[in-house]
C-alpha cells in the first residue's frame, strides 16, 4: 500500500559523536552530495532532511538532527535524541579519543534511549588511511558485541555514506514490522501518513 501511494514514512535520525569527527560532513554529503572542508562547527543542532527509496518502493524520509559534539553539551543531548528512531554514532578513525567518546554515546543510548532505536556505529575519514589509529576490526567487534551495525565511511569521498543511510532505512521498517508482529493488533504500527506512531512525531509530508 505504501508503495502505491508513494507516501513517505518519516523517521527522526540523530547524529552523535565527538566534536570534529565529521557528523555534519556526513549529513551534508548524504543530503547534498557535497563535501565542504570549511563547514562551520555546529552549535546546538542543525537540521536536514532527505528521502530515500527502498527496493520495495517504500519511501523513507529522514529528519536528520546533526548535533554539536563537545562534551559540554552532553547534558543537552537527550533533547536531541529523544524520539529518534535511528542514531548514527560517529568516530574519527584517526583519533582514538573520539572512538572512546563514541562508545560512551552508545552506552548512553542503550541506557536512556528507546531499545528499538537503530544504531549505526560509524568510523569516518577512511580517506586518511595513513593516519588511521582505529582498525576496522576493532570497531567491528565493538559493534557486534553491542548489536549495532558497523560501517566505515568517508564524508570526503562519499564512500559508504549513502550505503550507511540505506542500511538504516532498511532496518527501520523491519523493526516496525517486527513490532507489529510481536505486539499484535493492539499496536497500530506504522501507517502511511501517520509516521512513527509511538512518538507522535513525524507526520506526512509526502
203 near another protein, judged by CB under 8 A: yes
**Which of 43/186 has CB closer to another protein?**
43
39 near another protein, judged by CB under 8 A: yes
Q: Which residues contact 122 (CB under 8 A, 6 or more apart)?
A: 26, 88, 89, 90, 91, 150, 151, 152, 153, 164
Q: CA separation (Å) from 16 to 12, 21, 107, 126? A: 13, 10, 12, 18
The SS3 call for residue 166 is helix
Query: Segment contacting another protein (CB under 8 A): 37-45, 101-109, 154-162, 172-180?
Result: 37-45
**Which of 3/44 has CB closer to another protein?**
44
Q: Pick from 38, 111, 145, 186: which binds another protein (CB under 8 A)? A: 38
Q: Pick from 3, 33, 188, 200: which binds another protein (CB under 8 A)? A: 200
Q: Cβ of 139: how many Cβ atoms within 10 Å? A: 22
Q: Pick from 5, 6, 32, 41: which binds another protein (CB under 8 A)? A: 41
Query: Segment contacting another protein (CB under 8 A): 117-125, 142-150, 159-167, 198-206?
Result: 198-206
- Cα dihedral 136/141/147/149 (nearest 10): 10
Of 87, 200, 90, 79, the C-alpha closest to 139 is 90
68 near another protein, judged by CB under 8 A: yes
Tell me the HSE value of 148 on the side-chain side, using a 13 A CA sphere.
27
Separation between Cα atoms, residue 63 and residue 203, nearest integer Å? 11
CB of 80 to another protein, least distance (A): 7
Q: Pick from 5, 79, 128, 181: which binds another protein (CB under 8 A)? A: 79
Of 90, 86, 107, 106, the C-alpha closest to 98 is 90
52 near another protein, judged by CB under 8 A: no
Which positions touch another protein (CB under 8 A)?
10, 19-20, 38-49, 61, 63, 68-70, 72-73, 75-76, 79-80, 83, 199-203, 205
Amino acid at each position: 500500500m505504501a508503495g502505491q501511494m508513494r507516501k513517505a514514512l518519516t523517521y527522526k535520525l540523530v547524529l552523535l559523536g565527538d566534536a570534529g569527527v565529521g557528523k555534519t560532513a556526513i549529513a551534508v554529503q548524504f543530503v547534498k552530495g557535497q563535501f565542504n572542508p570549511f563547514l562551520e562547527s555546529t552549535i546546538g543542532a542543525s537540521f536536514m532532511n532527505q528521502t530515500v527509496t527502498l527496493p520495495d518502493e517504500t519511501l523513507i524520509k529522514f529528519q536528520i538532527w546533526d548535533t554539536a559534539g563537545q562534551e559540554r553539551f552532553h547534558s543537552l543531548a537527550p533533547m536531541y535524541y529523544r524520539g529518534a528512531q535511528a542514531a548514527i554514532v560517529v568516530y574519527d578513525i584517526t583519533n582514538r579519543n573520539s572512538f572512546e567518546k563514541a562508545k560512551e554515546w552508545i552506552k548512553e543510548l542503550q541506557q536512556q534511549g528507546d531499545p528499538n532505536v537503530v544504531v549505526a556505529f560509524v568510523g569516518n575519514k577512511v580517506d586518511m588511511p595513513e593516519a588511521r589509529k582505529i582498525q576496522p576490526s576493532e570497531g567491528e567487534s565493538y559493534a557486534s558485541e553491542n548489536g549495532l551495525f558497523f560501517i566505515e565511511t568517508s564524508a570526503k569521498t562519499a564512500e559508504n555514506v549513502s550505503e550507511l543511510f540505506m542500511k538504516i532505512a532498511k532496518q527501520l521498517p523491519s523493526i516496525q514490522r517486527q513490532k507489529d508482529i510481536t505486539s499484535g493488533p493492539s499496536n497500530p504500527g506504522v501507517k502511511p501518513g501517520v509516521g512513527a506512531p509511538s512518538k507522535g512525531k513525524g507526520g506526512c509530508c509526502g
